[in-house]
Chain A
Amino acid sequence: MDLVLALAVCALGGVVAGLIGVGGGVIFVPAMVIFLSMDQIEAEATSLLMIAIVSLFGTWRQRGYGNVDLRDAILIGVLSPIGVVFGVVLANELPERALKVAFGVLVLYVAWRLMKKALRPDRPEPEGSSGQG
């Protein structure tokens, strides 16, 4: 039964990944911890494998729809590991609480900007979109 729940929640994670372009780890990790009693580190490591597989299929579909700039994606993907090292060093140097609060504020600012852009009344909908309503 727990495996069935884990499978169902991971299907949902895939839908979220496809809809908003994230890997889905935000859903896969808790699914493994809660339903399969995996420990956090093992769940995170395993979710990375799932993310690689899921985003590969997502990329394939999105490429078919014409929604992938492959050159930009490779640039971002290749640079990211350098950023990871940077982040880990920073995490060891600065107090965790302050970092989290600063990141939280930044994330809220970005959320506000996205929302403002989305709700701007004069925004033209690109061709091929179903538009509002």
Chain B
Amino acid sequence: MDRERLIKLLVVGTAAGAFSGLFGVGGGTVIVPLLIAFLAFPERLATGTSLAAIVLIALFAVITFSFYGEVDIETGVILSIPAVFGVIAGTALQQRIPERSISILFSILLVGVAVQMFFF
């Protein structure tokens, strides 16, 4: 892996963590646009790679939270069932839409995040 790319990935990982520590936004909100805008990932590759990174990030976080007894495991597992069906449908749907529409959907999400930052 060349050096510049490695440094950019280090920045993406640290930034994803820093912004979730700062504002509680999820890692994906930071990872996906940075991979697209600064590492020139195609959208689908950016979203797939983001999901894989989130597995690790969420695992670290949930283990930390579980020490404080805040995780309602039963509710989490029950609600995950429809969510897993959702993510399987969502990824399948994603393969059938133009890549640029993923960027457009993401821009809309980011505007929502900005509004939340400005007004809440």
Contact = CB atoms under 8 A, between A and B. Distances in A.
Partners in one complex: yes
Given A18-B90, A55-B54, A58-B51, A45 B33 contact: no
- Which residue of B26, B50, B59 has the most chain A CB atoms within 10 A of its CB atom? B50
Contacts of B57: 77, 80-81
How many residues of B sit at the interface, in one of the four size bands?
35 or more
Interface of B: 1, 6, 9-10, 12-29, 31-34, 36-37, 41-42, 44-62, 65-66, 68, 70-73, 75-107, 109-111, 113-115, 117-118
How many residues of A sit at the interface, in one of the four size bands?
35 or more
- Which residue of B13, B41, B60 has the most chain A CB atoms within 10 A of its CB atom? B13
A38 to B, nearest CB: 7
B89 A14 contact: yes
17 contacts: A10-B86, A20-B47, A21-B47, A23-B58, A26-B25, A26-B109, A32-B75, A44-B65, A45-B65, A58-B51, A59-B52, A75-B9, A75-B10, A108-B111, A111-B106, A111-B107, A117-B100
B90 A14 contact: yes
Contacts, number: 370
Contacts of A69: 41, 45, 48-49
Given A10-B82, A44-B65, A59-B55, 9 more contacts: A19-B102, A21-B48, A69-B49, A76-B13, A77-B55, A80-B20, A82-B14, A101-B118, A103-B19
Interface of A: 6-8, 10-26, 28, 31-32, 36, 38, 41-42, 44-59, 61-63, 65, 67-88, 90-91, 99-101, 103-105, 107-108, 110-115, 117-119, 123, 125-126, 129-132
A89 to B, nearest CB: 8
A111 B98 CA distance: 18
A39 to B, nearest CB: 9
Contact of A99 (B22, B47, B80): B22
